[in-house]
Amino acid sequence: MSLAPDIAEGLSRARADLRMGLGVVLSDGTQGALVLAVETLSPQRLGDVLALPGRPVLAITARRATTLKARPYDGDLARIALPGAATQGWLTAVADPADDLKSPMKGPLVAVREGPAHLHRLGLKLAKSARILPAVLVLDLPDPVGFAAENSLTLINAIAAAEVLDQMNPLHPVVSARVPLAVSEAGRVHVFRPEDGGEEHYAIEIGKPPRDAPVLARLHSACFTGDLLGSLKCDCGPQLRGALAQMGAEGAGVLLYLNQEGRGIGLANKMRAYSLQDQGFDTVEANHRLGFEDDERDFRIGAEILKRMGFASVRLLTNNPAKIAMMEKNGITVTERVPLKVGETEHNRTYLATKAAKSGHLL
């Protein structure tokens, strides 16, 4: 029935539930599990989970497990057995690296290796897509459908969800309007919204670039601290303004402003990474300690917006070869890489050097 949520809409509900501290139920038809995010789990709910039949495990990514010297037997994740007196504080200490240097010994951590881990993997993907710490408490359920109905919890078809989470949610244009800008009075802002009601993305069009020629373009991921506050820890603000200025000078261009804060981990996790950098870790090491990859962004979004706007080729303003590769892979021809080397300060020099050495940026 069309009034019922489809799988993408159900996953949006599940993300919201995890962010609020509610559990969600995953089922593949034969196996089921209750999943709760460690970051938002209350001591009362933890007590209720521990009182249920069975023994929950803590699922963390392999990146976080490696930091903690735990065995990621499942390849990309580790399932950690809870100690007999597990508390919400213990779970948080394993999930959040904030106090790793102060209290490095979390264990001994015993990794579970028996049985399938696909529901745990799906739970971690959901947590990542909800922009919270990728650490989830997972309890096997003999009757997932009945348990979800009895407790009014969101029930997710795990097989369908695994496929959808690997896909880019379709985008649709919402509205566009003329916005005179300091770099060009001929500015226009286009708003695109994903089908699942997630965060919108924007295209700032300068002038009237022809659709049958390569357009000067930039994929710019949102950076609250750099773009709005003028942070000196990154080069995002200067890159944003530099790209718009170059488009204004040429009289045409498209800047795609993608809501993928902190390389796709969200502002809260970016601030966690900043705190870890203050402890001496570089930007990549900080992401790994949090349980994330170097870069969690999805540049397919940019390619889709360009195609929706009628562009097939670009002159890409970037220092990041990964953006070029992703554009080409998703049907956008990159005829030229246009360097954008601006914004280096004494505060971000090490950060930029790390991006060049570990992430391949051409600086």
pLDDT tens per residue across span 301-331: 999 999 999 999 999 999 989 899 999 999 9
Euclidean distance between CA atoms 211 and 302, whole angstroms: 16
Residue 233 has pLDDT above 80, yes or no: yes
First to last CA, the chain: 53
Mean pLDDT lowest among 15-24, 70-79, 106-115: 106-115
Residue 5 has pLDDT above 80, yes or no: yes
In terms of pLDDT, which residue wins out, 290 or 345? 290
Judged against a pLDDT cut of 90, whether residue 41 lies above it is answered with yes
Which residue numbers are catalytic?
295, 297
> Which are the contacts of 222, defined by CB distance < 8 A and separation ≥ 6?
257, 258, 259, 260, 261
Average pLDDT, the chain: 93
pLDDT at 47 over 90: yes
Q: Which residues pair with 177 in a beta bridge?
A: 189
| pLDDT given for residue 349 in this prediction | 77
* Between 300 and 341, residue with greater pLDDT: 300
Residue range 53-59: mean pLDDT, rounded: 96
- Kindly tell me the burial class for residue 335, based on how many C-beta atoms sit within 10 Å of its own C-beta (0-12, 13-18, 19 or more): exposed
- Which H/E stretch holds residue 205? strand 201-206
Phi-psi region of 153 (alpha: psi -120 to 50; beta: other; left: phi over 0): beta
CA distance 127 to 210: 41
Euclidean distance between CA atoms 19 and 21, whole angstroms: 6
Q: What is the pLDDT of residues 323-360, one digit of tens each?
A: 999 999 999 999 999 998 885 777 767 766 777 676 66
Q: Which residues pair with 34 in a beta bridge?
A: 25, 139
Q: What is the DSSP letter of 170?
A: P
- pLDDT tens sequence across 113-129: 999 999 999 999 999 99
Give residues with Cβ within 8 angstroms of 91, minimum separation 6: 38, 41, 46, 58, 135, 137
- Which pLDDT does position 334 carry in this prediction? 97
- 352 contacts 363 by C-beta, under 8 angstroms: yes
What mean pLDDT comes out for the span 139-162?
Answer: 97
Torsion from C-alpha of 213, 215, 216, 222, nearest 10 degrees = -170
Peptide bond into 108 cis (omega under 30): yes
Contact (CB, 8 A) for 15 and 123: no
Q: What per-residue confidence (pLDDT) applies to 85?
A: 83
Band the pLDDT of 84: cuts 50, 70, 90.
Answer: confident
- In this prediction the pTM is 0.93
